[in-house]
Chains A and B, each alone.
Chain A
């Protein structure tokens, strides 16, 4: 296992440097010179411009600049936002819990519905339930989620129903500290009456919008994994032994079918973050997805650069974790070269 861990970690190093090169190149490839870009809308005087060029090291050759950039990144310095003047790293981690909370709820929603649905579809293969479910799953998989979010708002947030709020994480009339950054937990801790329900109601629609594509992927993957496992010899043996069907499905088959499903769940983090960009923009959810879109349209390039690096880093770490976990539960992968 240790050897496996080391090879996988070594694998990440070139990818990490690739990501930093991309983030580094981003600001330099933009039309216009970096100081003018970093100065933002206000601009700088020519004298100050020349001074800043030297101060930031933009007069040095590119490879040297890259070296400085890497040194800064490794020390946790990702530059300052042009708009808010805050360190990018700090901005990112202030907003990150909002995205994490939303993504977590979305994946729970997707698993809680997708997993059992996929199992039932596999067990009842070829029935109308199977066909309907797979049709719905393919529709969910094909869904333009920015439109789906708008349709959910039309259905549930506008009259006649008006069940759920349209934007934000909680009603503005609740005001309390945010020790964890997770609204559901903070609202419970605050002890304010109604705060938790309000936070929950704000979460419902974004969760459905964001969870739909992972839900479809999980349902499809569970079904095909279950179908494969159900045709294995040990399932036939279990049937021959006279075990009740629910035991065969629940204990013998599901356990083995879960391996590929867990991988799919882990790998959908990239899908979730891509979806979060659209979902957060529509529901005015103050997370990193909306922050990235806003930063791009505000031309806040240091934030975009830092965000790129951090998001890719997170995806990379999650993929590594999934990989390791997969190796842990499946020895066949671990020992393969």
Chain B
């Protein structure tokens, strides 16, 4: 009986430590009003994206032919039917914005997932194998960083053909080097620590050393980087959409909406203003959240 008691105790203790850590993290995170506000906005956006079909009053692509360029409700000529007005072909802007949240969050998630996994793998390999492999990987990352991000993404899309999927692939490549560099740097600094040596002496294999021993201790900066890359991904994908190289019409992607709206800039300010505002609010919320995350995870900031 005693041995089974022991076995039960250890996971419970570990769970306690984890809960404590999470509690400590939340304590520091919740002190930061901006970060909490950012988290709330992101939460609302996720809900909107999931329930877009229910929340949006109209279909995002239906054209109401009697209502071209109708102004928002509070202006003369506006109506509650189209709260934020309609665009040049009579589509409801409010509904398009809500559906657009789907694309932005989708882009951010996919891009960060690709860059995060690929970046960590390359960084781990570079940090563990050193030598020639490391040089090759790091110089390749230098090459990617030598190009202004949007330019490289544009050229990659020119190679692959303009579409949302290809825009996401291109943006993933552009944000990749940050993950590789961060992972490699923390792997190298962690590798010399005693706990890694002891794991090695105990006979841990390379995969175990990489993923179980070292990687969890490098996660904090990587998580922060993932958040910041999420907002970069949304911005760059929207820019590509704006330049006509990303999502294609009639997709209600925010950047593509702005591209359509450009010619109505003097006649209908609302067609231009709202999609960009949506991008700004989303990116700002994620950045606020990321800043808060960094402060809460960074032990140097905690003590001050």
Contact = CB atoms under 8 A, between A and B. Distances in A.
Interface stretch (B69-77, B126-134, B146-154, B194-202): B146-154
Contacts of B10: none
Interface string B145-186: 111111100110011010000000000000000000000000
Given A138-B287, A154-B265, A311-B147, A278 B242 contact: yes
A99 to B, nearest CB: 11
Contacts of B235: 142, 144
B146 A14 contact: no
Given A29-B159, A144-B239, A158 B265 contact: yes
Interface of A is mostly: helix
B150 A277 contact: yes
B120 interface: no
B151 A308 contact: yes
B291 to A, nearest CB: 7
Contact of A144 (B140, B148, B158, B280): B280
Nearest to A276: B148
A175 interface: no
Contacts of A281: 243
B271 to A, nearest CB: 10
B284 A146 contact: no
A235 interface: no
Contacts of B34: 135, 138
B258 A150 contact: yes
Interface string A199-224: 00000000000000000000000000
Contacts of A141: 287
A154 B269 contact: yes
A98 interface: no
A139 B142 contact: no
A144 B243 CA distance: 13
Nearest to A299: B158
Interface stretch (A52-60, A114-122, A266-274): A266-274
A59 to B, nearest CB: 23
Interface residues of B, number: 43
B244 interface: yes
B272 A146 contact: no
Nearest to A148: B276
B79 interface: no
A270 B144 CA distance: 12
Contacts of A277: 148, 150-151, 154
A19 B150 contact: no
Interface in A273-316: 273-274, 277-278, 281, 292-293, 296-297, 304, 308, 311-312, 315-316
B265 A26 contact: no
Q: How large is the interface on A (under 10, 10 to 19, 20 to 34, 35 or more residues)?
A: 35 or more
Interface in A115-169: 135, 138-139, 141-144, 146-148, 150-151, 153-154, 158
Interface in B109-140: 135, 139-140
Interface string A15-59: 100110010001001110000000000000000000000000000
B30 interface: no
Contact of A150 (B143, B255, B262, B283): B262
A148 B255 CA distance: 12
Contact of B280 (A14, A135, A147): A147
Interface string A157-186: 010000000000000000000000000000
A312 B146 contact: yes
Contacts of A293: 154, 243
Contacts of A312: 143, 146-147
B231 interface: yes
Contact of A278 (B140, B239, B288): B239
Interface of B: 34, 135, 139-140, 142-143, 145-151, 154-155, 158-159, 161, 231, 235, 238-239, 242-245, 255, 258, 262, 265-266, 269, 272-273, 275-276, 279-280, 283-284, 287-288, 291
- Pairs of residues from A and B, 5 with the lowest C-beta to C-beta distance, nearest first: A147-B276, A18-B143, A274-B148, A142-B283, A142-B284
